[in-house]
C-alpha cells in the first residue's frame, strides 16, 4: 500500500475534507499540527494599551533539569527607554509542569489568568499592584470537578465581570468533546456550556456534515450579539508523543472540523459551521462596520473568512492559502492589526511570518514574508501596529527535537514595509524553559507614570551589587 493511502486511512473520517497528499507530507516531515494569541485578539470589553507597552508576560513551560524545572510567568522589560530593555525583569514559578499554555486578563486588567492543558489548573496573577513583578494570588485546582468533567482549559476570555474559558477535552474519554466554562472575576465557578454534537445539538442548526463538539479558541462581536469558537483535538492527542500519535489510526481521526456561532448573551449555540482542517485561532475585525472574523486551518493551510450570510446567519469559506500548501507550512498562529488592514500568520515548518493585506477580506494578498527562526509559534501585535513579538513553543511533546528546538522571545519593528529585529531573548540560555504565549503590560493601565519606574530595576541591581561587595 502506498504511504499516501496509509495516511488516508489514518485520518478518515474526521479529516475527509483534507487532501491526503498534503497531510501525509506534513506527517512524513515530522511537522506537528500546532496549537497556540496576541494583544489585538483581546476582548473588546477590556482596556487596551494604545501606546508603548512596558512589559511582555510570557507563559512558559518548565523543563526537567533546566533551572527550577517549573512552569512560570516570565516578565520581560520591553520599553526601549528602560535600562534593562529586552531582559528578564522577574519570574514567578507555579510548582511543577502542567503544560502551561494560554493566559488572559480580566476585563479590568488587574489579574492575569493562566491555564494548563495537562493538570487543568488555573493560576491567577496580580499584575496591577506591581506590573513589573506579578504575584501568584490564587490557584484553581478543581476545574474538572466544578465544570462537570471538562479538561484542558485553553483560552481565557474577558467578559464584563466574567472570565469564560474554552477547553480542549473531557475526563470521560480524553477525546475532543468539550465545553466552555464560565467564572466570576473572583474565581468562582458559574456554569458549563457543552459544545453541540450530532447526538445533542442543543437547539443549534447543523449547517454541514459535522457537529463534533470540539473546542479551541473564542472571540466575541458584541455589536452582533455573536460569540465564535473553533476546534482542535483532545487530551489523548495533545499530550501524546507526536511520533507515537502518527502511528495511532484512531488518534489521527480525532481533529476538529467545525466552528460554532453562539448567542453571546444567552450562551446558546446557534449554528455549527463546517471548517475542515482544524481551525485554530479566531480574530475578529475591530471596525464597527466590519462584521467578519478570520481563522486559519492547521492542516489545510487556509485563511478562512467568517461573515454574515444575509439570511440572519453566518457562513465560513476559505479565501486564501498560506504559502504553498504543497510544502505544508503548517500555520500555527496569527494576529490581526487594529486597523483591520493586515493579518500576520506564523508557519511552524519553515519558521516564517507572513503579512497579508486584508483590505479586501475576500481576497487577502501577501504583502510581506520573513524568516524568524528554526521554530516559531505565536505572534503578538502592538495596538499601534508598529511592533511584532514572536515566541516558539507549541506543546512539550510536539516541539522540534535537537538543533531545531529553539526557544526565544523576539521583538521586531514594522514600518509598513520592513521588519527589523530589536532584541532576541534566548529562553534556553536563561534557563527559563519553553516560551509559549504572550500578554502585554503597562504602568499606564494603573495610573502609574512609566518614567518614574523605567530605571528602578537598574538602580536596585546596582544597590544590591554594592551591598554584596561590602
What pLDDT score does 459 carry? 59
Determine if the pTM surpasses 0.85: yes
Order of strands, sheet of 189-194, starting from the edge strand that comes earlier in the sequence: 150-159, 162-170, 179-184, 189-194
- Write down the pLDDT at residue 11: 37
Fold of the domain spanning 3-469: Methylamine Dehydrogenase; Chain H (2.130.10)
| Confidence at residue 86, expressed as pLDDT on a 0 to 100 scale | 97
Domain boundaries, the chain: 3-469
pLDDT the model gives residue 373: 97
pLDDT tens, residue by residue, 217-234 = 999 999 999 999 999 999
pLDDT at res. 249: 82
How far is the CA of 134 from the CAs of 47, 55, 75, 102, 129, in angstroms?
Answer: 18, 11, 8, 16, 8
pLDDT for 413 = 97
> Low-confidence residues of the chain, pLDDT below 50?
1-38, 463-470
Amino acid at each position: 500500500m502506498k504511504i499516501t493511502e496509509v495516511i488516508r486511512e489514518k485520518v478518515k473520517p474526521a479529516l475527509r475534507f483534507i487532501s491526503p497528499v498534503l497531510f501525509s507530507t506534513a506527517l512524513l516531515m515530522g511537522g506537528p499540527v500546532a496549537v497556540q494569541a496576541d494583544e489585538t485578539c483581546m476582548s473588546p470589553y477590556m482596556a487596551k494599551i494604545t501606546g508603548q507597552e512596558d512589559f511582555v508576560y510570557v507563559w512558559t513551560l518548565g523543563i526537567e533539569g533546566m533551572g527550577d524545572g517549573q512552569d512560570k510567568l516570565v516578565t520581560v522589560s520591553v520599553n526601549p527607554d528602560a535600562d534593562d530593555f529586552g531582559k528578564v525583569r522577574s519570574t514567578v514559578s507555579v510548582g511543577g509542569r502542567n503544560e502551561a499554555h494560554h493566559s488572559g486578563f480580566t476585563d479590568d486588567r488587574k489579574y492575569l489568568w493562566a491555564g494548563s492543558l495537562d493538570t487543568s489548573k488555573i493560576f491567577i496573577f496580580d499584575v496591577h499592584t506591581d506590573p513589573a513583578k506579578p504575584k501568584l494570588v490564587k490557584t484553581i485546582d478543581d476545574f474538572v470537578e466544578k465544570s462537570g468533567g471538562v479538561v484542558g482549559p485553553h483560552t481565557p476570555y474577558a467578559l464584563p465581570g466574567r472570565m469564560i474559558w474554552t477547553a480542549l477535552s473531557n475526563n470521560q474519554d480524553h477525546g475532543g468533546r468539550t465545553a466552555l466554562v464560565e467564572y466570576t472575576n473572583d474565581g468562582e465557578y458559574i456554569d458549563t456550556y457543552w459544545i453541540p454534537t450530532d447526538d445533542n445539538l442543543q437547539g443549534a442548526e447543523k449547517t454541514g456534515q459535522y457537529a463534533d463538539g470540539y473546542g479551541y479558541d473564542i472571540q466575541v462581536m458584541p455589536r452582533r450579539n455573536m460569540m465564535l469558537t473553533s476546534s482542535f483535538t483532545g487530551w489523548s492527542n495533545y499530550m501524546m508523543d507526536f511520533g507515537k500519535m502518527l502511528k495511532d489510526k484512531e488518534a489521527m481521526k480525532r481533529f476538529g472540523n467545525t466552528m460554532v456561532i453562539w448567542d453571546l448573551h444567552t450562551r446558546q449555540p446557534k449554528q455549527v459551521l463546517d471548517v475542515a482542517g482544524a481551525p485554530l485561532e479566531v480574530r475578529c475585525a475591530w471596525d464597527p462596520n466590519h462584521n467578519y472574523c478570520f481563522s486559519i486551518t492547521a492542516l489545510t493551510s487556509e485563511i478562512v473568512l467568517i461573515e454574515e450570510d444575509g439570511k440572519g446567519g453566518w457562513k465560513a469559506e476559505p479565501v486564501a492559502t498560506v504559502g504553498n500548501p504543497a510544502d505544508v507550512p503548517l500555520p500555527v498562529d496569527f494576529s490581526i492589526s487594529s486597523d483591520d488592514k493586515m493579518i500576520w500568520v506564523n508557519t511552524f515548518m519553515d519558521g516564517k511570518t507572513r503579512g497579508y493585506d486584508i483590505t479586501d477580506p475576500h481576497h487577502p494578498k501577501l504583502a510581506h514574508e520573513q524568516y524568524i527562526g528554526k521554530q516559531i509559534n505565536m505572534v503578538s501585535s502592538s495596538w499601534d501596529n508598529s511592533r511584532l513579538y514572536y515566541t516558539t513553543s507549541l506543546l512539550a511533546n510536539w516541539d522540534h527535537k535537537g538543533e531545531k528546538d529553539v526557544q526565544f522571545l523576539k521583538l521586531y519593528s514594522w514600518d509598513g514595509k520592513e521588519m527589523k529585529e530589536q532584541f532576541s531573548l534566548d529562553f534556553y540560555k536563561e534557563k527559563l524553559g519553553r516560551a509559549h504565549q504572550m500578554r502585554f503590560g503597562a504602568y499606564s493601565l494603573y495610573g502609574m507614570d512609566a518614567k518614574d519606574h523605567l530605571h528602578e530595576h537598574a538602580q536596585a541591581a546596582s544597590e544590591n551589587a554594592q551591598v554584596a561587595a561590602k
